[in-house]
A and B are shown apart, each in its own frame.
Chain A
Amino acid sequence: MERLIYFIRRALRNMRQCLFLCSVAIGTTAVALTIIAFFAIVVLNVQQLTADWSRQVEIVAYLDTVPDARTLQGLHGKILALPEVESVDYTTPEQAFSQFRKRLGNDADLLSGVDPDILPASFEIALKPLFRNQAGVDTVVTRLQKEVGLNDIKFGREWLEKFESFVALLKLGGAVIGGFLLFAALFIVSNTIRLTQYARRDELEVMSLVGATSMFIKTPFLIEGAIQGALGGIAAIVGSFVLFRLFLYESLSSLLLASGSGAIAFLPLSFQGLLLSAGVFLGLFGSLMSLRKLVRV
């Protein structure tokens, strides 16, 4: 314990003496992690909202003719028996008509004298959460066509496809850019620590000559790396929060909340913790890399 405090003090002294280099390392880590956090905020929010929306994803199957009670019951049962289906609602032409009339509002008198039968009867089919995606929709549509014999089917397929590929693109972009930046940060951190080692080579030489173990020599550099990484991680959390407040919140809201539901959220606490640990890991690993080439007397 006393030993640890001693090492931390030495690490802090190192950092004070190489303030500029140290700030560069912290800054790079912070920028890399901030950009990753930025992508994460967008991806998480888009995913959250698509999840909200997909709850409303429905398949609507229109019927050519209005079925009699027995056929209706048979169809209803068959659809409900499909493993992907959560619930089925039957809408009569009259119900559809009155809904339509409601939606027209003041223009409803346009419909006066029109026969309710012009609108088809339909089933509205909601899927179980697991199947609220493109693949699930596809399976159910195929089954409705082949197994139930319904052919006139509408579903939000294109819409889903677009959002799914948008999220995939975001994730990929985030991973590529983030990975690249992490790599750059690792490189810079390890070189910064190598430079501070170079600046302190006299001390390292003397240490070694008076019998310092390699653990004794290296530990402060590892601690320095970890501290730099942690500070970079904290800076990234603060930085991405500022970005989020100043800019991301508004643009995400206008982009995603057109439907007026849901809310834009900052990174959850667990993710912030992840960001911090990523920083620490980066710093530790960076200094470990630089220590492998540490000059031995």
Chain B
Amino acid sequence: MIQIYNVSKAYRKDAAALSELNLKIPKGDFVYITGPSGAGKSTLLKLLYAAEKPSRGQILINGQNITRMRGRRIPELRRHMGIVFQDFKLLNSRTIFENVAFPLEVQGKKRFEVSKKVFQTLKLVGLEHKLQSLPLELSGGEQQRVAVARALVVDPLVLIADEPTGNLDPDVTLDIMGLFRGANARGSTVLLATHDREMIRRFPRRVITLENGRLVDDRMP
């Protein structure tokens, strides 16, 4: 459950990236966040994974107020999240296996637990045969699948994706969407920022539309 109360964010004075936002997202929901470029989609997601603090208002995730959270508690919050970006953010000097293992390594998980889980997750995204490759040896679609695997390896409560298919071909986009829908089916709450109208038409879900930092539309299919 994500609750957003009267949240505003201004990076600079007199230029609000988000204003007076109110939202409730139930556990297990699948939500598109859409709107033109500069509407505040990325900002909203950053507030959710605590990379930015709201200028005003409160955000609660599973009842925990993350706007009041101390900096040292943020890692714990993120360990239950999976985050996917348009530009993948893979570590190019590490193998696919190491990239997917990274969140578990960071959490100090035991070695054998890590290997098993990483292998399972790579199989889920269909890349178990590439685990020794380096990211730059893969196609864009494959790289994004690795990034999704890295997000899913922790069984996230919340999966956050910021234009994850913005750089990908339509058929690859279908693959990635399949992965998000699968994760949602297994119980993750999914928040997906996109301006791909076609994708929303094809897989209709709740759509939140932002414009100039304001919520202008929130509709169920």
Contacts and interface: CB of A to CB of B under 8 A. Distances in A.
B79 interface: yes
B91 A202 contact: yes
B54 interface: no
A211 B91 contact: no
B204 interface: no
Interface residues on B, range: 20 to 34
Contact of B78 (A3, A211, A216, A296): A211
B91 A216 contact: no
Contacts of A213: 72, 75
Contacts of B79: 210-211
B106 A297 contact: no
B83 interface: yes
B112 to A, nearest CB: 13
Interface residues of A, number: 17
B35 interface: no
Which of B81, B89, B106, B154 neighbours the largest number of chain A CB atoms within 10 Å of its CB? B106
Contact of B75 (A17, A206, A212): A212
B107 interface: yes
A48 to B, nearest CB: 53
A297 B51 contact: yes
Contacts of B76: 211
Interface string A140-151: 000000000000
Contacts of A117: none
Contacts of B71: 214, 296
Contacts of B107: 211
B97 interface: no
Nearest to B82: A210
Nearest to B107: A211
Contacts, number: 47
A52 interface: no
A210 B103 contact: yes
Interface in B140-176: 150, 154
Interface in A189-247: 202-203, 205-214, 216
B72 A206 contact: no
A206 B91 contact: yes
Contacts of B21: none
Contacts of A209: 49, 51, 78, 83, 89
A176 to B, nearest CB: 41
Contacts of A296: 71
A202 B89 contact: yes
B157 to A, nearest CB: 12
A99 B171 CA distance: 112
Contact of A216 (B51, B83, B106): B106
Nearest to B76: A211
B77 interface: yes
Interface in B64-117: 71-72, 75-79, 81, 83, 89, 91-93, 102-103, 106-108
Given A203-B91, A206-B91, A216-B108, 18 more contacts: A3-B108, A17-B93, A202-B91, A202-B92, A207-B102, A208-B78, A209-B49, A210-B79, A210-B102, A210-B103, A210-B150, A211-B75, A211-B103, A211-B106, A213-B72, A214-B71, A214-B75, A296-B71
Top 10 A-B pairs, shortest CB-CB distance: A211-B79, A211-B78, A210-B103, A212-B106, A211-B75, A213-B75, A210-B106, A297-B51, A209-B83, A203-B91
